[in-house]
Amino acid sequence: MSFESLGLRTELLRAASEKGYRTPTPIQSQAIPPILDGRDLMGGAQTGTGKTAGFTLPLLQRLMSSKPEKGRRAIRALVLTPTRELAAQVTESVRVYGKYLPLRSAAVFGGVSINPQIKKLRDGVDILVATPGRLLDHVSQTTIDLSRVEILVLDEADRMLDMGFIHDIRKVMKLLPKKKQTLLFSATFSNDIKRLADNLLHKPDLIEVAQRNTAAERVTQVVHPVDSKKKRKLLSLLIGSGNWKQVLVFARTKRNCDRLALALIKDGLNAAAIHGGKSQGARTKALANFKSGNVRILVATDIAARGLDISQLPHVVNYELPHVPEDYIHRIGRTGRAGHEGEAVSLVCIDEAKLLKDIERLIKIEIPKVIIENFEPDPTIKAQPITMGRNQQRLGVKNSSRNKQSSSRKKQRPSPSSPYKGRSNNQGRTGNRSRQHSSHA
């Protein structure tokens, strides 16, 4: 199948061709036709499979095919995203694919001054990409009118629920026309997502291009069991001995992000931290330096990393496992994108044994365990409760799945004996490691 066979306009085909796209991905080939037909849609796909283009291309065509009401240019399409980075990424996609169309777009999100956004909105836009909080800020200042929206897109809906945006989403929905096309996209599905879809979508087409809650197929996964106090040294060893040029590292809290980045810098590795506590300017600069290669290691929290689109990113490291198993899928989905191979490494201590089991239960595979020589876990160390950051504690109150996990961790501690079945890598840090764990993937 080609993009031409999907019935897209010449201007869109030209823009997609200049972007290097020739053949649609599965989510694109399945989502574009029903969107063009005006149907509501609930789309599920592994992150990095091209779902942004899957809704952006037909959205642009739909706006060009329908005649706007006479008068001042109005917002006709609204895309809601959970994070600033994802909002910026979607806006860039709209600009690239719509470069030959007379449509205007803008992004509004927090962390930056609202005044330039107000100025752009006054000039008139057709497509608005927004985070829920900043969108409602504009509504309260009467700088945004949503009464003429024809298409609503909820991108990364699962993350918006995790971040507690459900109440904001409901407020936004009350401001939109009842008659509109609604598209919901998510890399993972849960019962909460299904309930959201039931309330917002009208007889939607359901598209899932991969088994629900599965990890990206092109990502090689491996777990290195290691004591908590030795994680940083092991991480530096892996990066240095493997000559990894570009590594995205995940930590659970903002404080741990900053601490790890500083420790890696002391080890002689060029690193930067990105999280919700950073200003938008600092986050944009860190990401730009990482993409350009000026920064070798980017340490991020889950909230900051959702929406990061880094082409051909070779390595993702879970320095700390996430509390919510679905977040693991999103994390490792930052690599192995657009047909490229990727590697996801998790450094797991005894405290995280229960979290690892939850992840393996979700993705329905046992991740290969490889013990690195001189970093063997001490079997006498007992598991300790994991302290969550304030933001995660806040989200835990709002998200039932987090409450369930939190309560289960309080009631059940992992056994003090080592839960790992990994074997020791006595050959040291050589290229053999990739062959060893890839054969188990």
How crowded is residue 404: how many other Cβ atoms within 10 Å of its Cβ?
Answer: 11
Q: Taking 60 as the threshold, does the pLDDT of residue 415 lie above it?
A: no
Full strand arrangement of the beta sheet holding 247-250: 219-225, 342-348, 315-318, 247-250, 297-300, 271-274
Q: Binning pLDDT at 50, 70 and 90, where does residue 261 land?
A: very high
**Which domains occur in the chain, in start order?**
4-208 (3.40.50.300), 219-438 (3.40.50.300)
In 3-state terms, the chain is what percent helix, strand and coil (to 5)? Answer: 45, 15, 40
Strand partners, 348: 225
Six-digit token string for 384: 């300790």
Paired with 129 in beta bridges are 79, 107
* pLDDT reading at 427 higher than 70: no
Mean pLDDT, the chain, rounded, equals 83
Residue 126: the pLDDT is 96
pLDDT in tens, 13-64: 999 999 888 889 888 999 999 999 999 999 887 666 788 999 999 999 999 9
Give CA–CA dist 387/60, Å, rounded.
Answer: 45
Residue 94 pLDDT greater than 70, yes or no = yes
> If pLDDT is split at 50, 70 and 90, which confidence band does 386 have?
confident
Which pLDDT band, with edges at 50, 70 and 90, does 228 fall under? very high
pLDDT in tens, 178-219: 999 999 998 777 777 888 888 888 899 998 876 555 556 678
